[in-house]
Amino acid sequence: MEKACIDINQLVNVFSNAQGSIYQSDKLNCFYVDFGGKFARFNCLSLQKLKKVVEDIDIEALLLNTRKADFELVTFNGCEHIYLLNALEIIALKDLLQGTFTMFKLNHMISDCLYRLVV
């Protein structure tokens, strides 16, 4: 999906690192992952699946295996997006997804604390 098709003003930047960003669209109830030259749309469940797939990649084994290239194909069932990433890109994507889900948890904790103060 092209960035030009999306009104960037309607997206909320959830988390960014040097290699990419994840945006939230409240209007469309989805997330956009801007990583590796690709701007991809995910629903909440797909974003969780992507995080699980990336976290399950064994970086050490990938780097130590001399019989195959240090690239990994990242995708999962029901996903129309495919990433071909090297070890450094996997680490960057892992960091991006972990930061995003940390921000979700932080937002939830802040909302919970504010709700307790009001009630």
The domain ranges of the chain are: 8-117
Contact predicate 11/19, CB 8 Å = no
What is the architecture of the domain spanning 8-117?
Answer: Roll (2.30)
Q: Which two tokens stand for residue 36?
A: 């590796």
Classify the phi-psi angles of 89: left when phi > 0, otherwise alpha if psi is within -120 to 50, otherwise beta: alpha
The SS3 call for residue 19 is coil
> pTM of the entire structure?
0.86
Give the model's pLDDT for residue 1: 52
DSSP state of 6: S
> pLDDT of 81-98, one tens digit each?
899 999 999 999 999 999
Give the model's pLDDT for residue 21: 96
Q: What mean pLDDT comes out for the span 24-47?
A: 93
Give the model's pLDDT for residue 112: 81
Q: Which two tokens stand for residue 99?
A: 């930061």
Give the model's pLDDT for residue 47: 96
